[in-house]
Structure 1
């Protein structure tokens, strides 16, 4: 389904990714693990078409982002950043806006109503109450609440692939378990960056250990 072939990316004078390759099957979860600065987050951002890379190819069902179109690419492949992003309005307002974006222009009214209900259900499964989703502003949510709300949103819009950059980093242990279960239950394929060595074993899936490019030490990006 998703394939990365011989991807090379540099940061200043250092090579972050050197001939990096992977493949992801439908509904599969692939964990990227390795030391900080190894290029895990950079790999996700390249796949999401957010960062440029020097060489290599990324395809979704044999089509590149250029062939598929960038809006269509992002309809199929959704990136969840590690760090908190502030949005205007409430989580529910953001979800409604996301359904109206050009990349999701073919969503019918009945489907939109269904997705809104699904979003609330997913939020509830991750320990978020309806009031915090419908009434609270993003800036009023705690780090863990905001992280769970955006993950629930990304699940509810039903992409084919989730790119998860430490999706539970702001959550306590109990909330982390709820996040893991919600992602598993979604059945959506995912490439999941994690620094928790126990997480891949709890969630299941395939593990890919990333190592530094030959002759290049890991680079810490700020």
Structure 2
């Protein structure tokens, strides 16, 4: 497979906090349609790797490329629309769930996109929810409901890569499976891929075609 065939490539990434190195020289290649599972013990910095890939934290060393171009070549705002990180505890803004979904379209980087309530309704139905779900204040949602809202908020922006940090940690078993089905359906579209962390190793095995074992730094 040629370099141009990869959606995302990372080479030689390193993470250190307060002078303590968590991991170093991490590299990965992500292909269209692929789910890459990150596996390692708790506290080894899986979240920090996802945040670096999403450019929410600075890249301390090494480089990242999306479609063989650096984030700077895309411009950072555009890169972040193509590679979206979802936290285990996502930020929900004041206002209703509907207002939270509409908020991204007020940003200049999304000015050419239009909010599609019909598509949101389809996704909600797949997750066992109705439009009433969007009438509730976002700040009153449970942890699992906030994860659902954040996923829909990301999907509607049509990213190429989702960086999912424990995306079903607060969901019940039935909703977890429904969300997995929705994610796999999304991956059937051209040029979509995902990197996933989960404490549920069976979920990693169900969803991912390959795994990256993040090794703690050994001085």
Q: TM-score, normalised by structure 2?
A: 0.90
Given that residues 76 and 160 in structure 1 are in contact (C-alpha distance below 8 angstroms), is that contact kept between their aligned partners in structure 2?
yes
Partner residue of 2:98 out of 92, 96, 102: 92
Equivalent residue number for residue 132 of structure 2: 131
Is residue 36 of structure 1 aligned with residue 42 of structure 2? yes
Q: TM-score, normalised by structure 1?
A: 0.89
Deviation at 1:97, TM superposition (A): 1.8
Q: Which runs of 5+ in 1 are unaligned?
A: 216-222
The residue that corresponds to 1:179 in the other structure is 179
Q: For structure 2, list consecutive stretches of 5 or more residues without a partner in the other structure.
A: 1-6
Deviation at 1:201, TM superposition (A): 2.2
| Ranges of 4+ aligned residues in structure 1 off by more than 3 Å | none
The aligned residue for residue 66 of structure 2 is 60
Query: What are the Cα deviations for residues 187-219 of structure 1, in whole angstroms up to 9, with x where unaligned?
Result: 13101111111002222422222211223xxxx
Residue 156 of structure 1 deviates from its aligned partner by 2.1
What is the alpha-carbon distance in structure 1 between the residues aligned to residue 60 and residue 18 of structure 2?
12
In 1: Cα distance, 2:48 partner to 2:125 partner: 31
Instruction: Give 1:106 shift.
Output: 2.2
Task: List per-residue Cα deviations over 1:4-56 (Å, max 9, x = no partner).
Answer: 00011210121123011111111211111110111210010001111113210
**Residue aligning to 1:218:** none
Does residue 73 of structure 2 align to residue 72 of structure 1?
no
Structure 1 distance, partners of 2:43, 2:108, is 34
Deviates more, 1:59-68 or 1:160-169: 59-68
The alignment of Structure 1 onto Structure 2 pairs a total of residues equal to 209
